[in-house]
Amino acid sequence: MKIGLCSAGGGACAQPRVLLKVAEHAEAAGLESLWVSEHLVAADPRSPPSQLDPTFPMFDPVVALAYAAARTTTLRLGTGVIVLPLRNPLILAKELASLDVLSGGRLLVGVGVGYVHQEFRALGVPFEDRGQRTDEYLAAMRAIWTQDTPAFDGRLFSFGGVQAHPRPVQQPHPPIVIGGWSAPALRRAARIGNGWYGWGLDHDETAAVIGSLREAVRSAERDPALGELEITITPSGHVDLRAAQRYATIGVHRLNVQAPGGASEGDVLRLIDDLGTELVGHT
């Protein structure tokens, strides 16, 4: 099983020195990947469904991962996850292709539809069509990354008559990891995703979602070139070797472990040491 660390762009890690130290420490400990999540803005005052303190510091994921890429060589770099309907797809495609090139092909592109309506309102994006917007934006990004004459014509977004180079190092493009456990998100992952990402799930919840994903894959017109759908989970609570092995038995390919809320720099570094000692190479 692959072992990753999230979310490395917020809290104590939202300091340049700490972010670099965490990235270097994670690579030295043998962790497979480092992930940075996204909230472009935070609801102030905090109100449901937002779970984020409005003053909680959080870096932009592409910027943070580019910073970490410059001081690492093997660590994979994941966006976990970018709220795709809040982004211009051609601008984001340029940023992600640049990051993939600068990192030597280490990028994992995690995306989701978002769930905090206050963020959408602040950025002037309709909340109700975020699912369709996500599908169209992914198609547009794939087009600009892979087509000889890139073009896309959708209901919400269209482009043509342009090129964007350099293309990503990873071909045909960096792996696309779909976040979220709603039925549409599972169908999206089954249809077009290289992977799926679930947040804060215990063993029983994970088993149920993976069962639904397998059914969705059987029902989808999935391109065989996508390969097996890679399952990433941020587990709920502490994970020891026995718990990790149970996740693996259920069908999880990557555990993306998060430091507890309010964790200090030292807490994060100790977590990395524990993951490297207890899980890396043993699951």
Domain membership of residue 277 (yes or no) is no
Q: Is position 137 within any domain? A: no
Query: Which residues, including other chains, have CB under 8 Å from residue 200's CB and lie 6 or more apart?
Result: 234, 235, 236
Residue 12 included in any domain:
yes
Contact indicator for 169, 104 with CB cutoff of 8 Å: yes
Place of tokens 């180079």: 165
Question: Residue 63 pLDDT > 90, yes or no?
Answer: yes
Residues spanned by the domain of 195: 2-131+169-206+217-263
Positive or negative: CA dihedral 142, 145, 149, 153 = positive
Whether residue 255 contacts residue 218, with contact meaning beta carbons closer than 8 Å, is answered with: no
Tens of pLDDT, residues 208-244: 999 999 999 999 989 999 999 999 999 998 899 999 9
For residue 47, with 0-12 CB atoms within 10 Å meaning exposed, 13-18 middle and 19 or more buried, which class applies?
exposed
What's the domain count of the chain?
A: 1
How far, in Å, CA of 27 to CA of 145, rounded? 28
Q: Which residue do the tokens 């480092």 mark? A: 34
280 lies in some domain: no
Residue 102 is assigned to a structural domain of this protein: yes
The pLDDT tens digits of the residues spanning 138-188 come to: 999 999 999 999 999 999 999 999 999 999 999 999 999 999 999 999 999
pLDDT in tens, 74-125: 999 999 999 999 999 999 999 999 999 999 999 999 999 999 999 999 999 9
- Does any domain span residue 270? no
Beta-bridge partner residues of 201: 235
CATH number at 243 reads 3.20.20.30
Residues 6 or more apart in contact with residue 214 via CB below 8 angstroms: none
Residue 158 included in any domain:
no
